[in-house]
Amino acid sequence: MNVLLIQADQERRDALGAYGNPIVQTPHLDALARDGVVFEQAFTPVPICAAARASLITGVRPVHHGILRNVESGGVGGRDFTGEQITLAELLRGQGYCSTLCGKWHVGTDLPPAACGFEGVFYPRYGYPAEHPHYLGYLEKLGCRLR
């Protein structure tokens, strides 16, 4: 059995055809939903990206894993795991699965995905275009300035 977990950033449930949106066309996600599991009553424990992702991979609320805010929020405390956490990737590895991250990590301050059992290429701070030379070069080619 394969497991594919997709977590979109700031996407409401009603933005997918699989959940009944008659206008937005998401045929590939709709096919995955037809052949897989669709959660009808799933809720986030917190409306903050990093804390919600940390809860998804640990199965515990932010007050228990310690990530209470996003790295870029400017605050100092509550941006990394407090104590050791067992993650979904580590549990799956124990069952013979390989867990790979693709895309935005955005969990903790300096915590890499490998520390949580995920394999794959990791680009620190991926998801923050203003800090990536390739994106800044792209904007420069277009004649745009970020600021």
Catalytic pick from 28, 49, 132, 134? 49
Q: Is 28 a catalytic residue?
A: no
Clarify whether 49 is annotated catalytic. Answer: yes
Written in H, E and C, the secondary structure of 11-54 is CCHHHCHHHCCCCCCCHHHHHHHHHCCCCCCCCCCCCCHHHHHH
Here the tokens at position 59 are 């199965």
Helix and strand totals (H; E) in the chain: 5, 0
| Contact yes or no for 110/80 (Cβ under 8 A) | yes
Out of 65, 106, 116, 134, pick the active-site residue: 106
Catalytic positions are 49, 106
